[in-house]
Amino acid sequence: MTNDVIKEAVAKQQSGDRKLVADNTILGKVMTFNIGEQVYGIEIQHVVEIIGMQRITKVPHVPDYIKGIINVRSKVVPVIDIRTRFGKPEIPVTSHTCIITLSFNETSVGIIVDNVANVEDIHSSDISATPENKNVNTNAFIQYMIRSDDNSEQTKLILDVAKLLDEQEA
């Protein structure tokens, strides 16, 4: 999904134009996962696969949140701990802990998440822009939010994979 489509959807939301909002199309799919209580999502086209937690080989002289490298079917993939990246405390590995491998512009990265939740559609009517300056640390990586209409579900924060992978030392 392109940024333009999202911006357009967000703009429609903010304009409050009833007619436009009613135009509810499915823009794509996201894979959702949990980190602590918060639900995050990643657009499905960036997801390569989900693998169980495995032994990670540490690499010297890299930031804390890069846990090391793993072997995913003969490919060497670096692993980022999203928790540490977002400044949250580390928790022990559970049976739900897994690594989602992502691919963006031929860069592959695995991210450690508490557990994988679901794959769901993105409705254009549910998209909203991120609030400004709420949480500086994580906001940088949030592309947009998906809120649920009836508040039955938690708002999901959709990660900006490009920023997550390409950012220079933030």
Q: Which residues bind other proteins (CB under 8 A)?
A: 55, 57-63, 66, 69-71, 73-78, 106-109, 165, 168-169
Query: Closest CB to other proteins among 26 and 62?
Result: 62
Query: Closest CB to other proteins among 26 and 76?
Result: 76
Query: Closest CB to other proteins among 81 and 126?
Result: 81
CB of 164 to other proteins, least distance (A): 10
CB of 17 to other proteins, least distance (A): 41
CB of 61 to other proteins, least distance (A): 5
- How many C-alpha atoms does 56 have within 13 Å on its Cβ side? 23
The three-class DSSP label of residue 167 is coil
The three-class DSSP label of residue 132 is coil
In terms of C-beta density within 10 A (0-12 exposed, 13-18 middle, 19 or more buried), how is residue 87 classed?
exposed
Report yes or no: 145 and 29 within 8 Å, Cβ to Cβ. no
